[in-house]
Amino acid sequence: MSAPTECRTADLVVVGLGYVGLPLARRACAAGLAVVGVDTAGVVVDGLSAGRSHVQDAADADITAMLRRGFTATADFTAVSTADTVVICVPTGLVDGEPDLRAVMAAGHAVAAHLRPGTLVVLESTSYPGTTEEVLLPILESAGLAAGVDFNLAYSPERIDPGNGEYALENTPKVVSGLTPVCAKRCAAFYEELVDSVVVAAGLREAETAKLLENSYRLVNIALVNELAVFCDRLGVDVWDVLRCSATKPFGFQPFSPGPGVGGHCIPVDPRYLANRARAEGLPCSMITTAQEVNAGMPGYVVRRARDILARDGGRVYGSRVLLLGVTYKADVGDLRQSPAIGVVRQLRALGVRVAYHDPHADQFTVDGVPVAGESDVDAGVRSADLVVLLQNHRCLDLSRIARTARAVLDTRGQMDGDRVERL
């Protein structure tokens, strides 16, 4: 590899300062690295520069500490030309159910325009196997430098779990890979400065596929217990007791919990990258497709259960009032991306139900352009509702109090008890 041709002023440039890139930048600052963060969103750059965080897992105090250590946020990609290492952490989503790599490609072109010999470029964005070599590599080489010769190219899948108080970036094993053995070795050396444990994959595609497997595993197992919940309800079996008993087995079983569906960026999205690549190769991916269908049907199942409770004993459905507790996709996290609550609201509205919500983690909640009425006073909201539906069991909710005061409760998380509570 060619040696660096100019003096570097940044140890690390992080491209994309979202829920993945910002924790990486924070950890690198704490490790003593000189860090520059690049983001195309001006509001993100301005906020970070003023010491304000837009990511739940990074407090304003964390950003202030980063700034004191020399962290700089900018929209200017010329910072790449000063960096020893560039890590791309831009979002990868779906458009009409198909992988959307526009952000990766745009970041690749921007990095290529300022790439200098001797730089390590790492992609952390989740994508299908082959993305680093087939999509990013030719973009980076378009400026004239050769990957594996003039610069190092690597892939390391992000494993950030928002709201997880036990496992953060530094104590979660980091999978790394490289275009060449030298690229992989340099990638491993970089992350060894930041995390407790580094796992070297056999190649780029193995590392890319590992991330997809992790979330496909969760998708499939959640779908299994969701189907089981529907089955158990039909037979009058307590699914939550079934899961409790099964979880006592010390080998061969890992418990998953049913719920109103799946949300967020990872579980609903990442497996589709795997399925899409499988279809492109002419291979079946039926288990993932079926699991997606099962989980996508859970909001409708929740609404059917809610309708039955409302209609019980001659009650009315149309015009009734339902209070949803917790509308974010995950407990104790303020993220509404692809939350199952969206489908629940949409289908309750179709029945003529008046829907309100209480969620201290979501100041606003809009479905199909129409705001959902928010209840800041949970006690008042519970008292005025014909039915309370627990969608997300945030720790701040006093579930025992709600169970005592509500007229009726549908608990989709198996957390509540009482004569007025019906569990999923």
Catalytically active residues, by annotation: 266
SS (H, E, C) 360-420: CCCCCCEECCEECEECCCHHHHHHHCCEEEECCCCCCCCHHHHHHHCCCEEECCCCCCCCC
DSSP 101-118: -HHHHHHHHHHHTT--TT
Find out whether 101 and 135 touch, Cβ atoms under 8 Å.
Answer: yes
Find out whether 223 and 215 touch, Cβ atoms under 8 Å.
Answer: no
What is the end-to-end Cα distance of the chain in Å, rounded? 59
Which residues are paired to 175 by β-bridges? 199
The single-letter DSSP state of residue 328 is S
Cα distance between residue 83 and residue 217, in whole Å? 36
Place of tokens 């409760």: 409
Between helices 266-280 and 204-235, what is the axis angle to 10°?
A: 120
115 vs 77, 120, 130, 204, 416, CA distance in Å? 10, 10, 22, 21, 56
For the stretch 213-251, what's the b/e string if a residue is b when 16 or more beta carbons lie within 10 angstroms of its beta carbon? ebbbebbbebbebbbbbbebbeeeeebbeebeeeeeeee
Find out whether 383 and 356 touch, Cβ atoms under 8 Å.
Answer: no
Which residues are paired to 410 by β-bridges? 389, 422
